[in-house]
Amino acid sequence: MALTDVAIRNAKPDTKAIKLADGGGMFLLITPAGGKLWRLKYRVDGREKLLAIGAYPEIGLGEARRRREEARELIALGKDPSREKQREKVRARIQAADTFKAICDEYCEKRRRDGTKGWAPATATRSEYLLSLVCGSIGKLPIGEIEPADVLTAIRRIEGKGKLESARRSLQLAGAVFRYAVATARLVSDPTRDLRGALTAPTVTHYGAITDAKKAGELLRAIDDYEGSGITKLALQIAPHVFVRPGELRHAEWSEIDLDGALWIIPAGKMKSRKTHHVPLSRQTVALFREVRAITGPSGYVFPSVRTRTRPMSENTINAGLRRLGYATDEMTAHGFRAMASTLLNESGKWNPDAIERALAHGDTDKVRAAYHRGAHWKERVDMAQWWSDYLDRLRKGAEIVALHTHGAA
């Protein structure tokens, strides 16, 4: 006889367990302690087994019967309901671990240690920050349940704050995370592939840079009169001489710099190109580095953070220094020192363009350019570094510099 809700509610425990049958192998087990537990007795491969369906009243009579029928369908297909239940628990546990945030962390860790293709420290920091903006909305969701609309909502929140470029880049990085999940068999397809064209295109802006010789001299004189932090002033004074990217300067460590040998070797892991870069140091640059060493040396970061010596100077420090000197973002930036060097060196006509490209650590386009770190080509870069620092000294003093459009080392 089938059970009723009234019969279940009125059932009382006894000194021994009681079984109340409902049909189809299912019964309600009433324990001496008063617990009421749904169980299903069935046979698979000739063996009798017992499936725990749940406890009453959390699982009511109707829900228990529905689960019984699901189990019987599995049995009819030759499957063991108990084994399928365990598999479902494992799948749920894996799914819970495979949240967007968890896979983001895994992907970022992989990119940090991805050999020659790995992220440079500055790139890693920026990328992890941008992904954290996305994680604020979808980080806790299982990656397999995330739909294009979920991603778009997360990106729209960034876009709504006027951060159009951050929104664009965040979407790109989120797509990379989803594709990594696909590659590691935790996702079928990338939901961001259908979002192309959904965002407002940011206005392309170029780094502010002074490329006029006279204005460059004015900038150098302004830097010499800088009244802020002494370390910031020295960073501003060194930046025009070395042609490196702002992140490479900020992350410089004393172990990389040989002042006696006038050489700075930047490890591949810190370079955008992921290749070791050699920077010849002029006499003026060595003298400036010696001033810094007296303050922050002999180990650790050359330009440490004001808060802790275990971290480098903030990425905004040099730009903030330029703003303090009165230069707007569209006039001059930390990155602009590279454009200044590239423009004025090329306009001088004294140096092979390939030597200038190597000094700027731009990608090597052929074997000839790849040779610019050794032999006679290295000597040209050493000579060019010294000529450039001497040239900056003349600009600082207000000398009128006339471009010499002739090739060959000075």
Ordered per-residue pLDDT tens for the chain, 410 residues: 689 989 999 999 999 999 999 988 999 999 999 999 999 999 988 889 999 999 999 999 999 999 999 999 999 888 899 998 888 887 777 666 789 999 999 999 999 888 777 887 778 888 999 999 999 999 999 898 899 999 999 998 988 887 888 888 899 999 999 999 999 888 889 999 878 777 666 555 567 899 999 999 999 999 999 998 999 999 999 999 999 999 999 999 999 999 999 999 999 888 887 888 999 999 999 999 999 999 999 999 999 998 889 999 998 899 999 999 999 888 899 999 999 999 999 999 898 888 888 888 886 544 444 444 444 578 999 999 999 999 999 999 986 554 444 444 43
Do 370 and 393 contact (CB within 8 A), yes or no? no
Dihedral, CA atoms, 163, 164, 170, 171, nearest 10 degrees?
150
277 is catalytic: no
The DSSP secondary structure of 215-277, one letter per residue, reads: HHHHHHHHHHT--S-HHHHHHHHHHHHH---HHHHHT-BGGGEETTTTEEEE-GGGSTTSS-E
272 is catalytic: yes
Residue 397 backbone class (left: φ over 0; alpha: ψ -120 to 50; beta: rest): alpha
Q: Tell me, what DSSP letter sits at residue 172? A: H
CATH superfamily of 100-195: Tyrosine recombinase, N-terminal domain (1.10.150.130)
Distances (CA, A) of 360 to 53, 337, 410: 69, 11, 19
Pick the CATH number of 213-396 from 1.10.443.10, 1.10.10.60, 1.20.140.10, 1.10.10.10: 1.10.443.10
Do 249 and 242 contact (CB within 8 A), yes or no? yes
The β-bridge partners of 41 are: 50
| Residue intervals in the chain for CATH 3.30.160.390 | 5-95
180 is catalytic: no
d(CA 228, CA 222): 12
- pTM, to two decimals: 0.54
In 3-state terms the chain splits into helix, strand, coil percentages (rounded to 5) of: 55, 10, 35
| Residue intervals in the chain for CATH 1.10.150.130 | 100-195
Pick the CATH number of 5-95 from 3.40.50.10540, 3.30.160.390, 1.10.1040.10, 3.40.50.1980: 3.30.160.390
> Which tokens go with 195?
């979002």
| Residue intervals in the chain for CATH 1.10.443.10 | 213-396
Task: Spot the catalytic one: 72, 275, 293, 335.
Answer: 335
Task: Spot the catalytic one: 49, 156, 272, 311.
Answer: 272
Task: Spot the catalytic one: 107, 301, 372, 391.
Answer: 372
Sheet with strand 26-30: strands edge to edge: 18-23, 26-30, 36-44, 47-56
d(CA 383, CA 394): 17
373 is catalytic: no
Task: Spot the catalytic one: 65, 169, 338, 381.
Answer: 338
379 is catalytic: no
Task: Spot the catalytic one: 245, 277, 350, 358.
Answer: 245
163 is catalytic: no
d(CA 361, CA 88): 53
Q: Tell me, what DSSP letter sits at residue 309? A: T
Task: Spot the catalytic one: 72, 112, 362, 373.
Answer: 362
